Amino acid sequence: MVQIQNTTEPALQGLAGGPRRESRLALLWKDIKKSKHYYIMMSPYMIIFFLFTVIPVVISFGLSFFYFNMLETPRFVGWENYSRLLLGDDVFMIALKNTFLFAVITGPLSYIACFLFAWLINELSPFVRALMTLVFYAPSISGNVFFIWLIVFSGDSYGYLNGFLMKIGVLLEPIIWLQNEKYILAIIIIVQLWLSLGTSFLAFIAGLQTVDQSLFEAAAMDGIKNRWQELWFVTLPSMRPQLMFGAVMQITASFAVAEVSIALAGFPSVNYAGHTVVTHLMDYGTLRFEMGYASAIATILFGIMLGTNMMTQKLLRKVGE
């Protein structure tokens, strides 16, 4: 509502016969002066944010046009990094394909799972709700516990999965799951899904608790019949800010798969079967020390995430209509 004040006041002044031909710059300056408290409130955060996030990002974006091995001074190469990446790097194409596969499968699935579980948990009584939230958040909170999956998918007959499948007679010989190109991708997807109830899940849980409860009573009066209608017409629209947050987080996470792949399939994985854009980036950034090339990879990844996010946000605007 205050934003209306900001725009109407100069107009009112004009009517009152004040200085009519105020330049746009002067108006802007007035706006800025009026909002000075907002700038003061934001300044501590913004100064630190620019210093330690924006500037490094800009530097690394700039580096993507250089050859830089961290010892010699950077040498300008123009678009060479990009053309090499997109035209001459077969491994990058594998990484790109894998990353898209991950994102297409884990992205939407984990997003829906995050919301669905948060929504179901929210219906429970407070004590059980807290307990269940902990249970579902456990994989994210317990750090590197995904090493347990190494035991499950262990390649000999002692691995849990092999042992189980042999016992019920599906397999005669153990499968070396994590060395087999056919299975690596699927396994990483499963583990990634299991890990994915993280940030967005918590945000949804908290978001559901801030939804105004009287809306539900009003909706029931207006003829909402069951919980599914309630979900679509009341809960989802009033959680739009959190849904947006969750979408960005989930998309970013599903395109940035690397840790799980490295822990399970090794680095590099057999025939690059578990290679992703981020592992490719780590390869060049931390092993080969080609920072310019790594920065170009990061920039392309950034572009992909950005495009996906814009598409998703368009979709999300339709929720509850």
> Which of 26, 93, 128, 186 is in the footprint of other proteins by CB under 8 A?
128
Residue 243: which residues within 8 A CB-CB, separation 6 or more? 115, 236, 316, 319
- Block residue for tokens 């981020």: 278
311 binds other proteins (CB under 8 A): no
Q: Which stretch binds other proteins (CB under 8 A): 71-79, 179-187, 266-274, 303-311?
A: 303-311
Restricting to residues 209-228, which ones interact with other proteins according to CB under 8 A? 209-214, 216-217, 220, 224-227
Total residues contacting other proteins (rule CB under 8 A)? 106
Assess 287 for contact with other proteins (CB under 8 A): no
Q: How far is the CB of 174 from other proteins (least distance, A)?
A: 12
With the CA atoms of 312, 313, 316 and 318 taken in that order, what torsion angle do they form, in degrees rounded to the nearest 10?
-110
Q: Give the burial class of 52: count Cβ atoms within 10 A of its Cβ; 0-12 exposed, 13-18 middle, 19 or more buried.
A: exposed
* Using rule CB under 8 A, residue 111 touches other proteins: no
Chosen residue from 2, 11, 172, 315 binding other proteins by CB under 8 A = 2
Q: Which residues contact 176 (CB under 8 A, 6 or more apart)?
A: 155
Site for other proteins in 33-92 (CB under 8 A): 34-35, 37-39, 41-42, 44-46, 48-49, 51-57, 59-60, 63, 70
Strand (E) or helix (H) holding 75: strand 75-76
In whole angstroms, how close is the CB of 213 to other proteins at the nearest point?
A: 6
Q: Contacts with other proteins in 158-177 (CB under 8 A)?
A: 158-160, 163
Stretch that binds other proteins, among 86-94, 172-180, 182-190, 276-284 (CB under 8 A): 276-284
What is the DSSP code (8-state) at residue 72?
S
Pairing of strands 75-76, 66-67: antiparallel
281 binds other proteins (CB under 8 A): yes
Contacts of 204 (CB under 8 A, 6+ apart): 114, 115, 118, 119, 239, 242, 246
Amino acid at 29: W
Contact string 228-257 vs other proteins (x = CB under 8 A) = --x-------x--xx-xx--xx--x---x-
Per CB under 8 A, 153 contacts other proteins: no
